Amino acid sequence: MKKFFLYTFALAAMLVTFASCSDDEYTDARVTHYAEITLDGDDFMVVEKGSAYQEPGFYAEMNGEDVSSDVVVSSNVDTSMSGVYLVQYKYVNSDGFPATAERTVAVLDTADPYEGIYTVAPGTHRNSGGNITSYSGYDLLIIGNGDGTYTCEDLLGGYYYLRAGYGPNYAMSAGLSFKDDGTVELLGSHVPGWDDGADSFEGTYSDGTFTYSVVYAGSLVFNVTMVKN
């Protein structure tokens, strides 16, 4: 019986020793430092169509060290065509963890009578069965497609996209045709987040002011005025 207890005690001691070695073996004391990328200038820029895009610059720091030279910059900016483009900045540390930043660049033809940045004006409102919700002040883009038609960033005037904070998937992107008599034709519309579009549309344009009414989701009526900046 005494031998049994001795053997049991020795086995337990071995297990404790192995367990201790195992804990030490897999202890990882490394510290991972993460970079931070700061953009110079604004994260949204407007560039004149046909001009050159000038990178405003950026700074990346990790653990007090300047690592800007190791940042990879990728861009799809094409200033020969109106549109919205992205400049992306990325740094990956030695452990594979990325730091990223992004700049949006709108290429616009300021000589175009319809293309540009529009601000949603006071008086804009949503009518839901007689319940009126007013909103204004949001900036949205109307971009030329190069064929005489245009794309409006959000025909709902930013109601869900910006006011409610749902994001760009809940903006109603719309194709438009501006007529010589001041009327505006809706060529198509789509809200990706709900996979639907406008039920009906009536609009006019005069001297930089775009006024229209959109019926959406059966009974919601959006009466919107946008003024070109």
pLDDT above 80 for 4: no
Residue pLDDT, tens place only, 165-200: 999 999 999 999 999 999 999 999 999 999 999 999
32-44 in b/e form (b: 16+ CB < 10 A) is: eeebebebeeeee
Q: Which helix (H) or strand (E) holds 75?
A: strand 72-75
How far apart are alpha carbons 15 and 66 in whole angstroms?
48
pLDDT above 80 for 26: no
Residue pLDDT, tens place only, 110-142: 999 999 999 999 999 999 999 999 999 999 999
**pTM of the prediction?**
0.81
- Domains in the chain: ranges and CATH: 36-108 (2.60.40.10), 116-228 (2.40.128)
Residue pLDDT, tens place only, 194-226: 999 999 999 999 999 999 999 999 999 999 999
